[in-house]
């Protein structure tokens, strides 16, 4: 659910552009390049550069255009993929930077053959799904208030983290949450008030997202309320070090094999 919402927001940034559209045709059409021959440089034949206007529609939507990607483009596709993108995005971002070329019949065959020759190299590349990246970036911006009782005994577990995440609008399955257990965190323990802890969320048993939580004791008795500072920004490296933590990046495991008994903390510790 979180992934779908994130992608909807990202896609909402790209609106269909409307601008003047000119339909042109060549004054002189050259003969097609023979099969197996190298295409000539168009600049060698100046007449091929002469165009005449067939139609002009000042308010025609630009629509989409088919391109071949020359490199991996986040949120669009991988090298040599044939994709449909908004014309405005293609003209301003992909074509001028040579991240893509037009999907002409010649280039479709040329880069299709190249893709086949490079298939082993392309298959060996680690490519993180775009949906995972979007979710990971959103989650890593958060400092999760972990609300635990000051009146009753408790042990920090995935159920507590799940409830805390729900209170800030994030719905995660229990078996995707990994909390510290060696030693377990228990309470009530007011020495832990406002203490930062590390926990992990694993997306689709493969993508590990490091997250930060802050302990907050609560009670149904209003007179017992503890006044703590609001945490509205992500802690700095020095603030993390006070609690034995360090900045961590998301990790993409090669296989979707991170089950509930997987030692996620041990895995991420080895990545220091």
Average confidence (pLDDT) over 200-222: 91
List, in sequence order, every residue forming a beta bridge with 177; answer none if it has no partner: 201
Angle at CA of residue 129, ends 124 and 131, nearest 5°: 175
pLDDT over threshold 60, residue 11? no
pLDDT for the residue 3? 47
Q: Are 207 and 253 in contact (CB under 8 A)?
A: yes
Cα–Cα distance for residue pair 164/192, rounded to 1 Å:
16
Is the pLDDT confidence value at 260 over 60?
yes
pLDDT recorded at residue 10:
42
Residue 101 has pLDDT above 80, yes or no: yes
Structure confidence at residue 59 (pLDDT): 59
Dist. CA 213–CA 163, nearest whole Å = 12
DSSP-derived 3-state class of residue 210 = strand
Q: Is the pLDDT of residue 145 over 80?
A: yes
Per-residue pLDDT at 211 exceeds 50:
yes
Lowest mean pLDDT of 2-16, 28-42, 57-71, 216-230, name the range: 2-16
Residue 127 has pLDDT above 80, yes or no: yes
Q: How far is CA 91 from CA 62, 81, 97, in A?
A: 11, 18, 9
pLDDT for the residue numbered 57: 67
Region 42-65: mean pLDDT is: 76
Instruction: Report phi then psi at 144, rounded to 5.
Output: -90, 120
Q: Is 212 exposed, middle or buried (0-12, 13-18, 19+ CB in 10 A)?
A: buried
pLDDT above 60 for 2: no
Which residue do the tokens 């552009």 mark? 17
23 band by pLDDT with thresholds 50, 70 and 90: confident
Q: Over 80: is that where the pLDDT of 6 sits? A: no
Has this prediction a pTM greater than 0.85?
no
Buried b (16+ CB within 10 A) or exposed e, 217-246: beeeeeeeeeeeeebeeebeeeebeeeebe
What is the C-alpha to C-alpha distance for residues 198 and 210, in angstroms, rounded to an integer?
7
Q: What angle do CA 258, 131, 96 make, to 5 degrees?
A: 135
Assigned token pair, 125? 């590349």
% of residues, the chain, pLDDT over 90: 52
Poorest-confidence range of 62-66, 112-116, 134-138, 198-202?
62-66
Residue 177 has pLDDT above 90, yes or no: yes
């Amino acid at each position: 659910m979180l992934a779908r919402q994130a992608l909807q927001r990202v896609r909402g940034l790209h609106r269909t552009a409307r601008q003047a559209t000119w339909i042109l045709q060549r004054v002189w059409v050259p003969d097609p390049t023979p099969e197996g021959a190298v295409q000539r440089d168009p600049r060698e034949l100046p007449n091929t550069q002469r165009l005449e206007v067939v139609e002009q529609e000042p308010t025609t939507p630009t629509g989409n255009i088919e391109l071949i990607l020359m490199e991996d483009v986040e949120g669009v596709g991988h090298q040599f993929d044939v994709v449909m993108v908004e014309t405005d995005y293609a003209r301003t971002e992909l074509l001028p930077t040579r991240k893509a070329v037009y999907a002409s019949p010649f280039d479709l065959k040329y880069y299709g053959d190249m893709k086949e020759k490079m298939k082993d190299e392309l298959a060996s590349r680690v490519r993180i799904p775009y949906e995972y990246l979007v979710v990971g970036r959103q989650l890593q911006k958060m400092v999760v208030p972990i609300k635990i009782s000051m009146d009753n005994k408790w042990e920090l577990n995935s159920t507590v983290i799940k409830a805390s995440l729900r209170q800030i609008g994030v719905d995660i399955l229990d078996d995707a949450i990994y909390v510290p257990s060696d030693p377990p965190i228990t309470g009530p323990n007011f020495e832990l008030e406002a203490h930062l802890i590390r926990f992990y969320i694993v997306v689709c048993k493969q993508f590990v997202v490091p997250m930060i939580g802050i302990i907050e004791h609560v009670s149904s008795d209003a007179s017992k309320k503890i006044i703590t500072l609001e945490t509205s920004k992500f802690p700095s490296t020095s603030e993390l070090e006070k609690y034995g933590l360090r900045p961590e990046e998301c990790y993409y495991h090669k296989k979707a094999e991170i089950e509930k008994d997987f030692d996620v903390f041990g895995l991420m510790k080895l990545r220091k």
